[in-house]
Structure 1
Amino acid sequence: MPNTSPDGDLYVSPLYLAGSTFTGDPALAPLLDHDFDLHSDELANVYVSSPQRHIRLGYLPEGPDYTLWKIAVHADPFGPPRWMATFDSPTPTELVTAFTTALASGYTKGADNYQARKAYPIDEALRPLAEAGWTRTDSWAATVCTAPDQLAGLTYSRQLPGPDAELRGDEHRWLLWGGQDGYRSRWYASFTSRTPIHLIAATTARLADPAPVLRYTPEVPARNRGSARITPVTPPVPTPLDVRRASAARARTTIPRTVVRAATVATAPGPSAALPVRTFRRR
């Protein structure tokens, strides 16, 4: 990993080592764009639901456990969930966004697209990983896919978990993970048996995407930094005109501000000479 400033912006790959951005906005937006309701509690936990209450999402930074995201779909709004997906705190935000984007798209196509598991083979969800060079191992108990660097994996259990245990999180049909072993460096995502395959496939496709993602240095888990490919974002180089303008702005003057403003308007060379806009998220 190259040297980086303690508060700089970075490009990080692979995605599974990047950590979370710890903001819910990108993953909430696809659902809110379809008129889902949003509520929050006094602890800043956020709750989103579809107008008919068949889809519920919780973004729970102050929740009772390590799970940051819980997504449940109900055939009956007053009944138990038909299926559930969870993502814990260090999960890269892009993975949750891929899942909610696919869920929002399915919502527009009708209940059959998001309530019932489609009759697709599990290979639809595994194909993006295989195409990215992940190793697949099949046994009577499970199918396991592992990233080339051994720092991410997916397990599909061939043994059907009990429905109650699965919804409690005691057993998993689908378990996705990434990162070095350790608190706040390794993340887990789970999908229960009836989760539509195309939603899991959208998540694995994003996971397999090699494109680097933007992070602020403290967001990248310390244990992952030695294994990730990290490139600092280079700030734009000021032009000579930028330097002259900055110097002029700092210089003292006895000319009234109204005169300075009028002169500036009269001599401004146009939009192309404006100072470059900083695009970084934090400084």
Structure 2
Amino acid sequence: MPDTEEIDGDVYVTPRYLAGTTWTGDPALAPLLALGWGLQHDENGNVYVTAPDRKVRLGYLPEGPDDGLWRITAYEDPFAQPKWGASFNNMCPTEFVTAFTAALADAYTTGPAAYLPEPADDPELDAFRAVAPLIQRGWAIQHPRWGVLEVRTPDGLASLEYTTGRLDAGQELTTLQARWYLQGGPAAAGWYATASTHTPVHLVTALTTCVSDPEPLPRWKDSMLHYLTDRAQLTPVTPPGPPMPTPLDVHRAAIRRRPALTARSVPRWSTSSPPAAAIAPRAPVRR
């Protein structure tokens, strides 16, 4: 878990796929902005981030036409249809989007072969690399459906669907009918993420690894009561304790506890006498 002085929240939420959004996009934008990608925004507050070669674009669209808050597309030709696209809705935990954009930033640094890869010889076998982290962490393969591989959490509150066969490229980019469909949370406030055909599998793997991570996520309890389910476990964030005292602190405390030495503090069994100046003179005797 992160240092309690650095986290943004007062409770930890387990499992993390029930944590919901943080209502801020800054952490997910940071990996791309750190590479010097261009940043623009419109009068509605939507944000657009573009790679220097114009071949990868990100839209953060709080005032977009639907609940697709995040849209990421990659192009072999900036004027052609995207080669692949991914989206995340407005309830998706920001940490999941950040895992994707951080992996995308690494891929962009590596070069075009990492973010615009050639199709795999065996797409289904290649795709299993992204499914493996979920299975390794207890997600179970469901009863097979024609053309769909589905894995689901034991509590049934999160799942991943991978569709095989040929799909319509336009629908993949504009609807939920994408190659990858990952979802979780309560029905009333669920989140989802999609990724189309040709999305680099290592980017999807970064997402599935983050979603299935057993570490909890920090949240502010009061801001999430309207969409938490009773399946989520909330653990208070324990504030840091007082700092450990230094040897000098211990020495000073000992001095403060030591009794003050006065003229009357002569040891009980001492044979010494108080100084003469301390003995009061006798009163004169009247005659």
1:211 to 190, 209, 215: 215
Partner residue, 1:32: 33
Native 8 Å contact 1:69 1:87 kept in 2: yes
Q: For residues 34 and 220 of structure 1, what CA distance do their matches in structure 2 show? A: 33
Q: Determine helix, strand or coil for the equivalent of 2:126.
A: coil
Q: For residues 43 and 148 of structure 1, what CA distance do their matches in structure 2 show? A: 41
Partner residue, 1:196: 200
Partner residue, 2:44: 43
User: Does 2:150 align with 1:149?
Assistant: no
Distance apart, 1:118 and its partner CA? 5.3
Q: Determine helix, strand or coil for the equivalent of 1:224.
A: coil
Per-residue Cα deviation, 1:63-88 (whole angstroms, up to 9, x for no partner): 11111100000111111111100000
Q: One-letter code of the match for 1:200?
A: V
Distance apart, 1:94 and its partner CA? 0.7
Native 8 Å contact 1:18 1:221 kept in 2: no
Q: Determine helix, strand or coil for the equivalent of 1:205.
A: helix
Q: For residues 181 and 221 of structure 1, what CA distance do their matches in structure 2 show? A: 15
Q: For residues 93 and 210 of structure 2, what CA distance do their matches in structure 1 show? A: 10
Distance apart, 1:231 and its partner CA? 1.0
Q: How does 1:1-283 map to 2 (within 5 A)?
A: 9-116=10-117, 119=120, 121-137=126-142, 138-169=144-175, 171-182=177-188, 185-220=189-224, 222-236=226-240
What RMSD, in angstroms, separates the aligned Cα atoms of the two structures? Answer: 2.1
Per-residue Cα deviation, 1:98-133 (whole angstroms, up to 9, x for no partner): 000110000011111111255261110000000100
Change in Cα spacing, 1:238 to 1:121, as seen in structure 2 (3 Å) is closer
TM-score (structure 2 length as normaliser): 0.76
Q: Determine helix, strand or coil for the equivalent of 1:72.
A: strand
| Count of aligned residue pairs for this structure pair | 233
Overall identity of the aligned pairs, in %: 45
Q: For residues 179 and 173 of structure 2, what CA distance do their matches in structure 1 show? A: 10
Structure 1, unaligned stretches of length 5 or more? 1-7, 240-268, 270-283
Q: Determine helix, strand or coil for the equivalent of 1:128.
A: helix
Native 8 Å contact 2:37 2:49 kept in 1: yes
Q: For residues 40 and 238 of structure 2, what CA distance do their matches in structure 1 show? A: 39
Q: Determine helix, strand or coil for the equivalent of 1:149.
A: coil
Native 8 Å contact 1:117 1:197 kept in 2: no
Q: For residues 18 and 68 of structure 1, what CA distance do their matches in structure 2 show? A: 17
Larger Rg computed on CA atoms: 2
Distance apart, 1:235 and its partner CA? 3.9
Native 8 Å contact 2:96 2:210 kept in 1: yes
Native 8 Å contact 1:160 1:193 kept in 2: no
Structure 2, unaligned stretches of length 5 or more? 1-8, 244-248, 250-287
